[in-house]
Amino acid sequence: MKREKIALVTGSSRGIGREIAIRLAGLAAGVAVHYHENRETAEAVVRSIRQKGKASHAFRADLTKEKSVEGLVYSVQARFGRVDILVNDFGPFIQKPWDTLTGMDWEFILRGNLLSSFFCMKAALPGMRKRKWGRVINIGYNRAEHLGAFPNITPYAVAKTGLLILTRTAAKAEAASGITVNMVSPGLIRGGRLPSGGTFDEAALGTAKDIAEAVLFLASEEARAVTGTNLIISGTWKM
C-alpha cells in the first residue's frame, strides 16, 4: 500500500474501533477517528496514532443522520484530502426480549447498524471511484450468515444481516472501480458485549486485536482480489 492512504474508522473512540484505528496507523499515512459523544476518549486514540508518527484528528458526527455523515466525510476530506479506507465499526446494541421492543428501539438499531454504514459508503465512494482505489470494511457479527432466531437481539441481527447483503451488493457494483467491499464479523470479544447469564470458554472468545488484524489484511494491497467476503472471527463460538 502506498503510504499516502487515509483511513476513516467510525466508532473508533473505544473497543474494536479503537484497536482498528491504532493498528491502521501502521498502513496509512493518516487516520480519522470518529466519535459521537466522548471526545476525551477519541482524543486519546488520536494521541496514540500521532505517537506512531502518523497524522490523526477526531471528528464528531451522529451517523444515524445522513447530513451529519455527509458533514463528517466532507470534514475528513477537507483536512486530509481524501478517504481511501473506510471502516464502518459504529453500531449500537440493545439486548432485550423482542416483544418488549418499541418502534424507537428498532429505528435506533437499524439506523445505527445498517443505515449509518450505507450513509458512510454513499459519501465516501465517489472519491474512491475517482482515484480507482478504495477499501470498505464493514463490521458485522458472526451469525449474520445463518438467518437464525435471536429473540433478545432481533433488531441487531436483522441490521447486521442487511449489512451483509449491502456489503455484497456494493462489492459487485464497485468491482470495476478498483474498490473492494468486505465484512469482518466478530463473535464474542473479551471486554466486549457478552450475552447475559452465560459462561464462556476462552477458546470461544476473541480479542479486539484479532478483529483489527483481519481489517488490516482487507485494507492492504495483498487483499486486492478479495471482495464481497464475510470474514468470521469467532473462535469456537457457535461452531
35 is catalytic: no
Q: Which of 35, 74, 141, 156 is the catalytic position?
A: 156
8-state DSSP, 96: S
CB 230 within 8 A of CB 164: yes
Which among 13, 63, 15 has a CA at the least distance from the CA of 38?
Answer: 13
Which among 79, 109, 90 has a CA at the least distance from the CA of 9?
Answer: 90
Q: Which helix (H) or strand (E) holds 71?
A: helix 66-80
| Residues facing 57 on adjacent strands | 32
Buried (b) or exposed (e) across 21-59, using 16+ Cβ within 10 A? bbbbbebbbbbbbbbbeeeebbbebbebbeeeebbbbbb
Pairwise CA distance, residues 127 & 135, whole Å: 12
> What Rg do the C-alpha atoms of the chain give, in angstroms?
17
Q: Work out whether the CA dihedral 232, 86, 225, 118 comes out positive or negative.
A: positive
Pairwise CA distance, residues 211 & 198, whole Å: 22
Pairwise CA distance, residues 164 & 156, whole Å: 12
Query: Which residues are known catalytic residues?
Result: 156
